[in-house]
Structure 1
Amino acid sequence: MSATRPAVTHHRTAIVAGIDIFYREAGPADAPVVVLLHGFPTSSHMFRNLIPALADRYHVIAPDYPGFGQSAMPDHREFAYTFAHYADLIDGLLGQLGVRRYAMYVMDYGAPVGYRLALKHPERISALIVQNGNAYEEGLKEFWDPIKAYWADGSAAHREALAFLVAPETTRFQYTDGVRDVSRISPDNWVHDQALLDRPENKDIQLDLFLDYGSNVPLYPQFQAFFRDRKPPTLLVWGQNDKIFPADGAHPYKRDLPDLEFHLFDTGHFALEDKADEIFPLIHDFLDRKIGRP
């Protein structure tokens, strides 16, 4: 009896612009590259199951942003925790790794990081996989009202009002809300994420990022123009019960990507956690058709 050899995931750290950037890497070195860009409040940990599922035919790279996961956590008073800075650092990492063309999986914070990369190097993007990653104002619903108030004045009061977003009950909510069968969700997720959020001064890092998220919204028209002009092959796999990035933000992608492969799932924010059995085959089939080697 023969058995398929399991993929090996390597856990590495590169120094980019003086900052330690941790990343997970797997798959053949000469295979088409897929870059996985994580959301809040997690890290490349969210892709721990997807990576080996893709590594049979793809070179998979999943970095942690500074302040997340195993990457460095510089003092927020001395380091700019912004989405533009994150995009520059991920761009630098990919440059060090010799990656010149790649598909991107973007989720939550990964969307503005990835779409900023697309604006910098539109010719490098071979395909997109979008999972609860917003690029349209229609997707910023009631959940965002207190964050928008913070964008409006940057006040200490509005900043502190967002402290609930890094609280344990909110972290658990992000994994369980909208999920029909919570037994499919490992509690390790929110325990792991919360331990990192609870590090001294990490709260201030997250509050800086909540403020800077407002800098992404004026770029939405440019993101949308990239979709229209470059027409990257795109697969959308979205948890339709997500209160953070609801399906209101999924449907507008159809306007700019007429060949979009569109799938909504009966789950919440972290759709991979309970719908992997449905989503993983869709992703692999999509990549095989769009960027895979014969």
Structure 2
Amino acid sequence: MVEVRHQYATVRGHRVFYREAGAREAPALVLLHGFPSSSRMFRHLIPALADRFHVIAPDHLGFGSSDAPPVDAFTYTFDSLTDVTAALLARLGLTRYALYVQDYGAPVGWRLALRDPGAVTAVVTQSGNAYEDGFVPDFWRPVWAYWEDPGPRTEPAVRAALSLDAIRWQYLHGVDRPELVDPDTWAADHREVNRRGNDLVQLALFRDYAANPPLYPRVHAYFRERRVPLLAVWGAGDEIFGPDGARAFTRDLPDAEVHLVPGGGHFLLESHLDTVAGYIRGFLTVAEPPA
């Protein structure tokens, strides 16, 4: 049985929760979760990789078991989430690591890579977007409206993303065998993002997501310049970040490995864990760190 250590560190005055497994001298792999989940989304993946890798999976502030300071005590932006993540990795002594990014984890991961390109040895992206191609308009249209005019006219549509039905949909849409998805996932996520005051946290991050697409050209330049090994493994049925977002990585990284998993959705690990773990193990075993 693989030991997964559930730990806390105080970073920039905030208590950050992270899961850790594997030998500390093994190659490091940092797992960055998306909305509305936490490192809990990696609860089954971590043991599947910890025999070869030193795995670290933190909860972003405002999610899971990390602190969730109110919006008047912490500025919830993707820059600030990156600040906390970078400080945690420095505290843990991680100077070289592969990244796994999903959903919100992607803009944090891209910022880490841009700040310290030499630290990132490889990237695994699972519905971790970096191209306009990835946005599915039917899902994103209310969010785009909120970016343009945040207020009482546009807020109700994005607040709906915090409802139990919307979170359940994120887990089940595009999944050919929904009976494989544990209902505890959406129940726990719904409970955590609806803690007192956390709605304002989530609204702040919805607004700040507008800062991510303008960063994409810098990310693309980073890909071209660093030639970082990249694996994109996405659910073919994801209707949040669609398959075109996975294919787009090959524009700047022609050698990128892209897999669209039939019958998988946005939270691919819930229904296709063995498939994803197999791709990751094979990819990271042969991936050469960028010079």
Q: TM-score range by the shorter chain?
A: over 0.9
Contact 2:236 2:265 in 1 (8 A): yes
Q: Deviations over 1:81-132 (max 9, x none)?
A: 1100011110000000000000000000000000000000000000000100
Q: 1:102 & 1:130 partners in 2: Cα distance? A: 14
Q: Which residue does the alignment assign to 1:226?
A: 222
Moved more, 145-154 or 67-76: 145-154
**Where do 5+ consecutive residues of structure 1 fail to align?**
1-5
The alpha carbon displacement at 1:43 in A equals: 0.3
Q: TM-score, normalised by structure 2?
A: 0.96
Contact 2:229 2:288 in 1 (8 A): no
Q: Which residue does the alignment assign to 1:277?
A: 274
Letter in 2 for 1:206: Q
Q: 1:135 & 1:155 partners in 2: Cα distance? A: 27
Q: 2:285 & 2:207 partners in 1: Cα distance? A: 38
Displacement over 3 Å in runs of 4+: none
Q: Which residue does the alignment assign to 1:3?
A: none
The alpha carbon displacement at 1:7 in A equals: 1.4
Q: Which residue does the alignment assign to 2:191?
A: 195
Identity of aligned residues (%): 48
Q: Deviations over 1:220-267 (max 9, x none)?
A: 101111111101111110012111111121111110111111100121
Letter in 2 for 1:105: Y
Q: Which residue does the alignment assign to 2:251?
A: 255
Q: 1:146 & 1:174 partners in 2: Cα distance? A: 16
Structural mapping, 1:69-218, within 5 Å:
69-142=64-137, 143-218=139-214
Q: TM-score, normalised by structure 1?
A: 0.95
1:157 is paired with a residue of what secondary structure?
coil
1:35 is paired with a residue of what secondary structure?
strand
Q: 2:287 & 2:248 partners in 1: Cα distance? A: 22
Aligned residues: 287
**Where do 5+ consecutive residues of structure 2 fail to align?**
none
Contact 1:32 1:291 in 2 (8 A): no
Contact 1:118 1:125 in 2 (8 A): yes
The alpha carbon displacement at 1:180 in A equals: 0.5
Q: Which residue does the alignment assign to 1:31?
A: 26
Q: Which residue does the alignment assign to 1:8?
A: 3
The alpha carbon displacement at 1:144 in A equals: 0.8
Moved more, 30-39 or 144-153: 144-153
Q: 1:231 & 1:285 partners in 2: Cα distance? A: 19
Over the aligned positions, Cα root-mean-square deviation in angstroms equals: 1.1
The alpha carbon displacement at 1:291 in A equals: 6.0
